[in-house]
Amino acid sequence: MLSEQILIRENNVQFFNEEIIQQVRNYSRKLEETGKLSPEILTYIYEHQLFKLFLPKSLHGAEMPLPEALAIFEEAAKIDGSFGWLVTIGFGGNFFSAYLNENIAEMLFLPENAVVAGSGAITGTAVKQENGYIVNGQWQFCSGAHHATIFTANCKIEATKTEVEMVRSFVLLPDQVTIIEDWKTFGMQGTGSHSIKTENAFVPAERTFDLSQPPLLFPDYLLYKYPFWQFAEVSFAVVALGVGLHFLEEAFAALEQNRQRRQDPSTERYAFIREKFENAHDELLQARTAFYAAVNESWQEMETQQMLSEEMKKTVSKASKKVAKVARQAAHEMFPYLGMAAATQTSLLNQLFRDLHTVCQHTTLISYEE
């Protein structure tokens, strides 16, 4: 049975203090309206190196293990969905530093405010030139575009007489891109996941990379050997998890407030809703436990084998999709019992519901199995 004070976390370790939690939550509505983090929140991120926790120590990063970082992602998403997504994406872009040469990696990632925004879509073209490429294209869903110092974009390189068409990733600088403010989803509005466009931008060859090849730098940092697809899956899954846990906390508070305000004489009604809540909550915690077990097991395999087996990749993928699915289902289970507050667009419950469903639309979290 649940106590009146819900303790979602499995341990008492917290990365974020109460001051920043309240600051972010107080700004949450403004974040939805503007799609931009406030200067004060960005300053906190820079001072605490939240965008550098996945960088190696040689680039003044924390070189953090994946399981430890995921707990921070979850905590950030539980504070606010858009904040959690931007912190997670900011972490994740560090992955690309290992695929560049040392000088370029230092130039791009050493600055205090260094952070990547980009898209995985292959919606650009590149024409090979001497020492580089001419790049044109437009890319959607570049989260954190307004505070990014680095943009990554995938392009098809036009075939020549001697080479077949191929795909490569390109690093664009802020003065080479135009931000198109077209992020119009019903949730996660604060992520500023706008499109970017570039026209006839010259990108030197050393600012390009190929994720299908082994990394060039930091051979001792296990994270950069972790398969990129599974890395993306687990990163996005914990955002869904954090938002889902926050939704259930707010749902529980709303249920208790409604019970006390109405002084409902029907004990059966409250018992029915309470049981619904406890079942949804327990199922999500079970999925959370299974998810972290899969992640920890995969990290142990990386430590011993320096790679993931195909079976382990499937295990991680399945656990990631499952925890996101259970979080979404938990919100669906509770939504009908939360009254008009949940259906009111300006309420926190409504925002959390919208954020959770938007996160779970990401292709890495969609399962085609029961």
pLDDT digits (tens, 9 = 90+) for 113-132: 999 999 999 999 999 999 99
Three-state DSSP state, 39: helix
Q: What is the pLDDT of residue 84?
A: 98
Q: What stretch(es) of the chain map to CATH 2.40.110.10?
A: 115-209
pLDDT digits (tens, 9 = 90+) for 257-303: 877 776 655 678 888 989 999 999 999 999 999 999 999 999 999 99
CATH number of the domain located at residue range(s) 18-97 in this protein: 1.10.540.10
Tokens for 216?
Answer: 């060039």
Decide if pLDDT at 3 tops 50: no
63, 56 Cβ separation under 8 angstroms:
yes
pTM of the model as a whole: 0.93
Decide if pLDDT at 311 tops 60: yes
Q: What stretch(es) of the chain map to CATH 1.20.140.10?
A: 226-365
Three-state DSSP state, 142: strand
**What sign results for the dihedral spanned by CA atoms 350, 189, 109, 195?**
positive
Can you name the CATH fold of 226-365? Butyryl-CoA Dehydrogenase, subunit A; domain 3 (1.20.140)
- The structural architecture, per CATH, of the domain 115-209 is Beta Barrel (2.40)
Decide if pLDDT at 6 tops 60: no
Q: Residues 308-330: what's their mean pLDDT? A: 98
pLDDT digits (tens, 9 = 90+) for 196-208: 999 999 999 999 9
Alpha-carbon distance of 162 to 112, in angstroms, equals: 43
Which of 11-20, 64-73, 82-91 has the least mean pLDDT?
11-20
Average per-residue pLDDT in the chain?
92
